[in-house]
Chain A
């Protein structure tokens, strides 16, 4: 049954990422890809929430955690955006984008776990 849940979640997660991140990358004009950053941060927080409230093994974790959030957030795009910076000779921007993504990714993940443990466990 887990397989079916992962497929459904993965289907929806990819579509949500495609729409939200595509829209944001087009509309906002910052030095880094805001859309990818945004989905990765939201996804880290929500997965933290699930893990913190100890949903592991439940069907919510299967479809929403592994399926939806796993697909909603992306690592391959993140890495290839760094290559795009390299190709534009923007080394400083690339490093800054990595550091910001990592720092806030871990921070939002940690806050998610904390909130999950405190309020939903």
Chain B
């Protein structure tokens, strides 16, 4: 199982790095756009997977763990989120850091919740 998690994690980290390169040239009042987006997108997708698993029997449990614990767990990141916040505070960008934290938590929570509800609605019979 750990090999599946590791492989998913490697791909998740790579995708996160790709997104960070994609947004590296975009400046928006020092707001950490890349981390913000991966964390929100990842929270929604993980919610979706969890919701789906609650209503459907999983045929590929290892694949599911690889995608959830591995890929999405690694795609999103807490350490960068907290360090960016501390750096914004140290740079005196108090309001940006406040907006960053509140919007990350509020939208992340909402998206995880709607992802779960959305996933629960999808019920596949037969192949899945």
**Chain A residues engaging chain B, CB cutoff 8 angstroms:** 2-3, 6-15, 17-19, 40, 43-44, 46-48, 51, 66-67, 69-80, 82-83, 86, 98, 101-102, 105-106, 108-110, 112-113
Do B78 and A78 touch across chains, with their CB atoms under 8 A apart? yes
Min CB distance A15 to B, Å, is: 5
B69 interfacial contact with A, CB 8 Å: yes
Which residues of the partner chain A approach B83 to less than 8 Å between Cβ atoms? 44, 47-48, 51, 109, 112-113
Given A6-B17, A66-B13, A76-B73, also A82-B86 (CB < 8 A): no
> Please, how many angstroms separate the alpha-carbon atoms of A66 and B105 in the complex?
22
Interface size grouping (class) on chain B: 35 or more
For chain B, residues 50 to 90, give those with C-beta under 8 angstroms from any C-beta of chain A.
50, 69-70, 72-83, 85-87, 89-90
What would be 20 A-B contacts, judged by CB atoms less than 8 Å apart?
A10-B9, A14-B8, A14-B10, A14-B70, A17-B69, A19-B2, A51-B83, A70-B13, A70-B17, A71-B12, A75-B81, A76-B46, A76-B76, A79-B108, A79-B109, A80-B116, A83-B47, A83-B109, A106-B89, A109-B85
**Chain B residues engaging chain A, CB cutoff 8 angstroms:** 2, 5-14, 16-17, 20, 39, 42-43, 45-47, 50, 69-70, 72-83, 85-87, 89-90, 101, 104-105, 108-109, 111-113, 116
> Please, how many angstroms separate the alpha-carbon atoms of A67 and B17 in the complex?
8
Min CB distance A82 to B, Å, is: 5
What total count of A-B pairs have CB within 8 Å? 177
Do A76 and B112 touch across chains, with their CB atoms under 8 A apart? yes
Which residues of the partner chain A approach B43 to less than 8 Å between Cβ atoms? 75-76, 79-80
Which residues of the partner chain A approach B42 to less than 8 Å between Cβ atoms? 75-76
Select one of A10, A51, A102 contacting B12, CB under 8 A.
Answer: A10
**Closest A residue by C-beta to B102:** A102
Interface residues of chain A: helix, strand, loop or mixed (majority) = helix
Given A6-B17, A75-B108, A76-B45, also A11-B9 (CB < 8 A): yes
